[in-house]
Chain A
Amino acid sequence: MTVRERLRQNISAAFYRHGLLCASYPVPIILFTSASILTCCYPLLKLPLPGTGPVEFTTGVRDYSTPSHESQGDLSERPDWYRGPPVAYIQQVLVKAAVSPWDNSLVPVDVFRSPLGRVFSVLEEIRNHVYTDRSLEALCLQVTDLLPGLRRMQAVLPEHGCLLVSPGNYWQNRRDLFDADPDLLKTVHQHEPKGLHTSATLKDLLFGVPGKQTGVNLYSKKRVVTYTITIALSSYDARFVASLRARLKQLHPSANCTLREDHMVHVHFKEEIGIAELIPLVTTYIILFAYIYFSTRKIDMVKSKWGLALAAVVTVLSSLLMSVGLCTLFGLTPTLNGGEIFPYLVVVIGLENVLVLTKSVVSTPVDLEVKLRIAQGLSNESWSIMKNMATELCIILIGYFTFVPAIQEFCLFAVVGLVSDFFLQMFFFTTVLSIDIRRMELADLNRRLPAEAGMPPPKPGPLRPRETPPPPRPSPHTITLQAPAFRNLRLPKRLRVVYFLARTRLAQRIIMVGTVIWIGILVYTDPAGLRTFLAAQVSEQSPLGEAGLPPHLGVAPVFPGGDPTSTLSGLPAPEPTPLPENQSQGHRAAHPEVAPVSSPQITWGPEDEELWRRLSFRHWPSLFSYYNITLAKRYISILPVIPVTLHLSPQEAIDTRHPQDTHHAPPPSIKTSDLQTDLTLYKVAALGLFAGVVLVLLLFCLYRVLCPRNYGQNGVPHGRRRRGDLPCDEYGYSPPISEISPLLLRGHSMDIECLASDGMLLASCCLVGHIRVWDAQTGDCLTVIPNNGLRRSSSSGCWEHRDGGGAVGGQDVDIFPIRRRTTPARPALFGDQPDLTPLIDTNFGLSPPSQALSSSGFDFGGLVEKAYQEHEPSPTLAFPPSPPPVLPPELPPQNNGDWDSSVWAMELRGNLIATGRSSGKLELWDAVEGSLRCSNEDGVSGITALAFLNNRIVAARLNGSLDFFTVEITKPLGLLQYRGPPGRGSLPPSPCYSSEDVISCQLTRSVQCAHQKPITVLKAAAGRVVTGSQDHTVRVYRLEDSCCLFTLQGHSGGITAIYIDQTMVLASGGQDGTICVWDVLTGSRVSHVYGHRGDVTSLVCTTSCIISSGLDDLICIWDRSTGIKLYSIQQEVGCGASLGVISESLLVTGGQGCVSFWDLNYGDLLQTVYLGQSSEGQSVRQLLVLDNAAIVCDFGSELSLVYVPSVLEKLD
């Protein structure tokens, strides 16, 4: 274990130093990285360019010997593929035949019938040629079955024997079948596929010359038929070939033939990448990029999200290039395609490291130096990164020892890829990240300077930071939506229909779907009627024209409808490799135009030497592939062609005629087929164009589908916001009318300040200091406790007592200037009050911040007093202050006299309301009767927070002290009654104190200097009291003996939010945006996450997750056990930061004039309830969830009670 720890420390230290290095010298490191990338990619230059064209190498025939397998370094001119024997030696016998002299009695068919007929005799000659007991059978390449699926070729191509192809194969090399064939052209053309084809057609294969040069055509002007007999030899016997050549030349001498015969061409074929192989590859790459997209989308809280995403992609791509380059450098050219492996490699390795690094770095404290932040973030994650790396290497090692060649290669490649990826992540990405963070810091500085000048110095801030409405900050990570002014506007139906159409882009989608369907139909139903055409042709395939065919051939579509798609799929038909001399022109020049009547001339020109060059470069691969012999990465040797000239007499031609030939008018189908090939070209072009358009549309559609719609509309790249996250969408629609209608509790004249509830009763206190008690079930106002308790009213008459409280209101207004300014209008009944608006000093930069920590509250008295004195001559003082019936003994001699203190904290238990005042006084009121039961003035510092648990009250004061009070009831407990049905809800039923009881409140213990700075949060649950303070610490006290159990340190800012519940879960959030989860039993930190830019304003937990909201208007949902962010919800700017959890899966948040309900499991908005009609500018700041699944929230001067009926069902 110690070794592990030491290792861990070492790794962490190394990473720390590395991070410092990267952040300190970003530019040199990036230069170094680029240089190393380029160096590693250098070997790639030697690799041949990707392409499938064959390569040639010419040797002489005379001194030819089969090259050995070993590489011979000295022969530098030899290509490195020229090793070992070729797959086959190709010997072509080029036959040129013509009927001469031509006379007019001959019909067009005679041009090719008898010349073609002579192929059988030449074939016979070749087959039977024997040279010193070596026959063709012994030398030729023996082939076996055709591939399954080539049934239509079976009758034509040879099987189980020599690979010897000639036009005679059309008739199974049988003269009798040839003679009986009534229509030769039809036989030849029936195998031709329609449309554009990239590989060699059967006609090309059998004739061995390009289709146009065969002369098998009714309109041939030259009347010379050219074809080859192609023999594939497995071994090269020079003497046999020479004797065959001599024999054929002797039998059919070619006059004026000057073909060179001394060169042998070796053709090497690269690996062919077919479309079929390309599609899965492309798919994996698409998936890869989708993965990268979705991963980089998660990059948060950086200056330039897209820059970092680009850096991530660059990291990935250059690690690919580097690994390929290194592999070639060390001679590890993988037989497996590197590009094929790579997507899986990236997906397996993942971009996790990049994301983890980013997250770790941005979660370091913001106030640190950039260098340190990078180093710290790096060293935090070092252990996990190294662990993952080691695990991956282990897995790869295991894979290497499977001894499966493919896997071993993958593993080798993976190791190189992994290491280079790691290298780039460590050097390149970290550096880019440091640059980015530095830029962000600069930007933050620029922005914060003016912003902070206007912010209130944290003097009242620590009091109730959760109430401070987030100021609208023009941060790059939030979208500043304009106030949804027409949210509640009912649009006319017609407009709504139009908007609906526009919003859903229905028309676009319908068009797109229509096109897709149409394409589908096009592909599958074969628009050209090809299928019927083919079926007809196939049924006539039998040479005798009878039904001698297996029946399935007639019905089974052989290649239905494949053509349009195959033409779409991209590979343009490559022209045969051009000769140095312009062949086609030379050809014409070599064959002078012959007059129709004149006899055809057979000429031999240099272009006939290598006629195979004019064939498709796929000619040989496809011929061999029919027999499952691949030419990929192998080569064939093409021997010099043997010329054969055949001259036939007209009589011979007439003799070999078929009876149908003469009365057979030239079939129009030939002409149309020629025409058709032209037409198909146009068709293909049109289809290609169309496909391009469709592709663009499809991409557009994909873009639309993948990217959120508001993306780019606001000009802010913002990927995180999903649809429906907004309480009200940007199209100005009001949400569906909710069945949830809020119950508005009116009565307060000013904004509501404190809110407390115990489930049955609801107490609220407004800025003026009025306390109202409401029935939480019905919303009736039960009691009104006016300020200073001057008068109380019955539950029915809620009249206001307005006396000098307005000044207190003014005081509070000054304390919370921002809130004050959000209130819509000053109510008219305050006409008797001086207008304190000019007193609101928004220029907080002038006031010294040290004032914040004055121990005795804030003295606005002087300021306001002056205003009041000026206001004195004002005639309207309608209500003179009436004498108080319960003379408040709590009117203390305050330092500046006559201004009463305001209520800063309030709690409600049973029917007792505990209020803490700014003067440091703790009061206990009877909630039902509205009478003051008890008060305590032991402390002088204002009470900022109260906790009321069982019979104890804990009060936190502004000076950082913590007072524990005990409420004692002199009457025995037997008189305690219980209100409400017992067992309902989770809280214990609150006892009711009868009015006769004498209640005393005694200070049992006062912890002076519980914190160095003001206590901001105080929570009590499960017998513990937790306080959070401005001094960055959280303290846990035991409630019984007020003993401090733990001081929890971990935040680098003041504590702003604390959550503790019965299960002893403690979570705290601070001004630094961090959230810590603590174990209350041991005092240890369970997890520590960086969640928000700016303060964490509110925290709640469910059993499985933690929900936090921050000043950055984000609501983040974290996994409670692991501390992993599940998701976050972007809210409107300036939304209230109040949160509440109704049930395990239902979250409620306050917004601008509305409350929203969210499904926690999925993070989507269930419903938004609008609290009022004219609700702009009012945001919900406080939100209480009652036992009966009702929610109370403040809403300006009103309270809103929202019942959630559906949740009630769930609870029961």
Chain B
Amino acid sequence: MPRLEEHCWSCSCSASVKTQELSSARWVVCKTAEMMSIITSVLSHAYGSLHSLQSANLIRRGLVLFIVGVVLALVLNLLQIQRNVTLFPEEVLDTLFSSAWWIPLCCGTAAAVVGLLYPCLDQHLGEPHKFKREWASVTRCIAVFVGINHASAKLDFANNVQLSLTLAALSLGLWWTFDRSRSGFGLGLTTAFLATLIAQLLVYNGIYQYTSPDFLYVRSWLPCIFFSGGVTVGNIGRQLAMVCKLTNDKFSFCI
């Protein structure tokens, strides 16, 4: 039961947090995210007391994933901001650093949760991920993910449907190229679905807006971004899990 709860929490957490990656949001989400991170930390702590070694490893992986999430959030946030504000460095930097400091933190937490969930799911399903397990492929995956974000921010399509279809094809291609596992697809879909749902709710409650919504309240490419983000972070998480699994050198740093 607690495991189920954790899954629920983590998923919604990741989703909500990912949403904010693209927008600015308010304290509601912040509070929930805080709560969720507290819960996750408590759970992981409890789990860790049982397996102290594993928990140290888990925390290490989580930390790396967290940093990756923060960096990605900052960069991608910048990409999105840039779309509206160009040629005004100060202003952009102001918005970048002043707009809700917790956004990167939440993104990091989400990345950590999703990235830890993927190998965990692999283990539970009993099908270890064997496809292209190397850092080169993972970096490639990250680059494609940034590229998809770049495209969503920079490309000017005739209509939104074209853009969304292109991005959907791209994100499916990303999954096919780098993941190809059922669990990855499922988790990515779940992430995308929940995240979009929460984005819809946030917009519905007027917390933020999209410039030209075409899918109820949000942009129709949003799920694609979430999907590819989930797959990417999952890939990193798997690689980390593979690399810094428990060894006899238990204090070594990951990677």
A→B interface (CB under 8 Å): 147-150, 193, 197-199, 272, 274-277, 279-280, 283-284, 287-288, 290-291, 294-295, 297-298, 340, 343-344, 347-348, 350-351, 402, 404-407, 500, 503-504, 523-524, 557, 559-562, 565-566, 569, 571, 621-622, 625, 630, 632, 704-706, 709, 722-724, 729, 733, 735-736, 1104, 1119, 1126-1127, 1145, 1159, 1161-1168
Q: Kindly state the separation between the CA atoms of A1167 and B143 in the bound complex, as whole angstroms.
A: 36
How many residues of chain B are within 8 Å of chain A by beta carbon?
60
Q: Do the beta carbons of B95 and A284 come within 8 Å of each other? A: no
Shortest CB-to-CB span from A684 to chain B, Å, is: 14
Contact of A198 among B90, B136, B245, B253 (CB under 8 A): B90
- Count A/B pairs, Cβ under 8 Å: 183
Q: Kindly state the separation between the CA atoms of A280 and B92 in the bound complex, as whole angstroms.
A: 13
Q: Do the beta carbons of B144 and A562 come within 8 Å of each other? A: no
Q: Do the beta carbons of A284 and B252 come within 8 Å of each other? A: no
> Per-residue CB proximity of B120-141 to A under 8 Å, as 1/0?
0000000010100111101110
Q: Do the beta carbons of A562 and B146 come within 8 Å of each other? A: no
Given contacts A280-B75, A504-B251, A1165-B248, contact A630 B87 (CB under 8 A): yes
Shortest CB-to-CB span from A709 to chain B, Å, is: 8
Q: Do the beta carbons of B91 and A290 come within 8 Å of each other? A: no
A-B contact pairs, 23 of them (CB 8 A): A198-B90, A279-B74, A279-B75, A280-B75, A280-B150, A291-B143, A298-B136, A404-B155, A404-B157, A406-B156, A561-B97, A565-B97, A621-B87, A622-B87, A705-B253, A722-B243, A724-B248, A724-B252, A1127-B133, A1145-B128, A1161-B130, A1164-B245, A1164-B246
Residues of A within 8 A of B150 (CB): 280, 284, 340, 344
Contact of B136 among A283, A295, A723, A1126 (CB under 8 A): A295
B49 at interface, CB cutoff 8 A: no
Shortest CB-to-CB span from A295 to chain B, Å, is: 4
Q: Kindly state the separation between the CA atoms of A340 and B79 in the bound complex, as whole angstroms.
A: 13
Q: Which of chain B's residues 176-201 have a Cβ closer than 8 Å to chain A?
A: none
- If over half of B's interface residues share one DSSP class (helix, strand or loop), that class is named, otherwise mixed; here it is helix
B78 at interface, CB cutoff 8 A: yes
Contact of A723 among B95, B140, B249 (CB under 8 A): B249
Residue of B nearest to A201 (CB): B90
Residues of B within 8 A of A557 (CB): 98
Given contacts A557-B98, A562-B93, A1127-B133, contact A347 B85 (CB under 8 A): no
Q: Do the beta carbons of B143 and A1162 come within 8 Å of each other? A: no
Q: Kindly state the separation between the CA atoms of A559 and B91 in the bound complex, as whole angstroms.
A: 8
Q: Kindly state the separation between the CA atoms of A199 and B248 in the bound complex, as whole angstroms.
A: 56
Contact of B144 among A347, A1127, A1163 (CB under 8 A): A347
Q: Do the beta carbons of B93 and A287 come within 8 Å of each other? A: no
Q: Do the beta carbons of B89 and A198 come within 8 Å of each other? A: yes
Residue of A nearest to B76 (CB): A280
Residue of A nearest to B145 (CB): A287
Shortest CB-to-CB span from B71 to chain A, Å, is: 8
> Per-residue CB proximity of B94-118 to A under 8 Å, as 1/0?
1111100100000000000000000
Residues of A within 8 A of B94 (CB): 559-560, 562, 566
Q: Kindly state the separation between the CA atoms of A729 and B98 in the bound complex, as whole angstroms.
A: 47
Given contacts A197-B90, A524-B97, A625-B87, contact A504 B146 (CB under 8 A): no
Shortest CB-to-CB span from A6 to chain B, Å, is: 31
Residues of B within 8 A of A1119 (CB): 130
B242 at interface, CB cutoff 8 A: yes
Contact of A274 among B88, B241, B245, B248 (CB under 8 A): B88
B162 at interface, CB cutoff 8 A: yes
Contact of B88 among A280, A622, A736 (CB under 8 A): A622
Of B128, B130, B136, B251, the most chain A CB neighbours within 10 A belong to B136
Given contacts A724-B252, A1164-B245, contact A559 B90 (CB under 8 A): yes
Residues of A within 8 A of B98 (CB): 557, 559-562
Contact of A729 among B96, B154, B166, B249 (CB under 8 A): B249
B81 at interface, CB cutoff 8 A: yes
Q: Do the beta carbons of B128 and A566 come within 8 Å of each other? A: no
Q: Do the beta carbons of B139 and A290 come within 8 Å of each other? A: yes
Q: Do the beta carbons of B251 and A149 come within 8 Å of each other? A: no
B212 at interface, CB cutoff 8 A: no
B205 at interface, CB cutoff 8 A: no
Q: Do the beta carbons of A294 and B87 come within 8 Å of each other? A: no
Residue of B nearest to A351 (CB): B136
B82 at interface, CB cutoff 8 A: yes
16 more CB-based (< 8 A) A-B contacts, given A294-B138, A343-B143: A150-B91, A193-B90, A272-B87, A275-B89, A280-B76, A280-B79, A297-B135, A350-B140, A404-B162, A524-B101, A566-B89, A632-B87, A705-B254, A733-B249, A1162-B241, A1164-B247
Q: Kindly state the separation between the CA atoms of A1104 and B126 in the bound complex, as whole angstroms.
A: 14
B225 at interface, CB cutoff 8 A: no
B33 at interface, CB cutoff 8 A: no
B28 at interface, CB cutoff 8 A: no
- If over half of A's interface residues share one DSSP class (helix, strand or loop), that class is named, otherwise mixed; here it is mixed
Residue of A nearest to B79 (CB): A280
Q: Kindly state the separation between the CA atoms of A1104 and B131 in the bound complex, as whole angstroms.
A: 12
Of A295, A340, A560, the most chain B CB neighbours within 10 A belong to A295
Q: Which of chain B's residues 55-84 have a Cβ closer than 8 Å to chain A?
A: 71, 74-76, 78-79, 81-82, 84
Residues of B within 8 A of A503 (CB): 251-252
Residues of A within 8 A of B250 (CB): 736
Residues of B within 8 A of A407 (CB): 155, 166
Residue of B nearest to A199 (CB): B90
B22 at interface, CB cutoff 8 A: no
> Per-residue CB proximity of B151-167 to A under 8 Å, as 1/0?
00011111000100010
Residues of B within 8 A of A406 (CB): 154-156
Residues of A within 8 A of B90 (CB): 193, 197-199, 559, 562, 566
Contact of A287 among B81, B86, B139, B255 (CB under 8 A): B139
Given contacts A274-B88, A571-B89, A625-B87, contact A294 B139 (CB under 8 A): yes
Q: Do the beta carbons of B143 and A344 come within 8 Å of each other? A: yes
B147 at interface, CB cutoff 8 A: yes
B142 at interface, CB cutoff 8 A: yes
Residues of B within 8 A of A1145 (CB): 128
Residues of A within 8 A of B74 (CB): 279
Residues of B within 8 A of A297 (CB): 135-136
Q: Do the beta carbons of B146 and A287 come within 8 Å of each other? A: yes
Residue of B nearest to A568 (CB): B93
Shortest CB-to-CB span from A280 to chain B, Å, is: 5
Q: Do the beta carbons of B247 and A723 come within 8 Å of each other? A: yes
Shortest CB-to-CB span from A1071 to chain B, Å, is: 29
Q: Kindly state the separation between the CA atoms of A348 and B86 in the bound complex, as whole angstroms.
A: 28
Residues of A within 8 A of B143 (CB): 284, 287-288, 291, 343-344, 347
Q: Kindly state the separation between the CA atoms of A622 and B92 in the bound complex, as whole angstroms.
A: 13
Shortest CB-to-CB span from B30 to chain A, Å, is: 15
Residues of A within 8 A of B71 (CB): 283
Residues of A within 8 A of B130 (CB): 1104, 1119, 1126, 1161
Given contacts A1126-B133, A1164-B247, contact A283 B75 (CB under 8 A): yes
Q: Do the beta carbons of A723 and B139 come within 8 Å of each other? A: no
Q: Kindly state the separation between the CA atoms of A722 and B254 in the bound complex, as whole angstroms.
A: 10
Shortest CB-to-CB span from A87 to chain B, Å, is: 13
Residues of A within 8 A of B255 (CB): 705-706
Contact of A276 among B92, B158, B254 (CB under 8 A): B92
Shortest CB-to-CB span from A546 to chain B, Å, is: 28
Q: Kindly state the separation between the CA atoms of A406 and B157 in the bound complex, as whole angstroms.
A: 8
Shortest CB-to-CB span from B251 to chain A, Å, is: 5
Shortest CB-to-CB span from A275 to chain B, Å, is: 5
Q: Kindly state the separation between the CA atoms of A198 and B158 in the bound complex, as whole angstroms.
A: 36
Residue of A nearest to B89 (CB): A274
Q: Kindly state the separation between the CA atoms of A990 and B39 in the bound complex, as whole angstroms.
A: 56
Q: Kindly state the separation between the CA atoms of A406 and B84 in the bound complex, as whole angstroms.
A: 18
Residues of B within 8 A of A148 (CB): 84
Q: Kindly state the separation between the CA atoms of A290 and B96 in the bound complex, as whole angstroms.
A: 25
Q: Kindly state the separation between the CA atoms of A706 and B136 in the bound complex, as whole angstroms.
A: 12
Q: Do the beta carbons of A274 and B158 come within 8 Å of each other? A: no
Given contacts A284-B143, A294-B134, A344-B147, contact A274 B157 (CB under 8 A): no
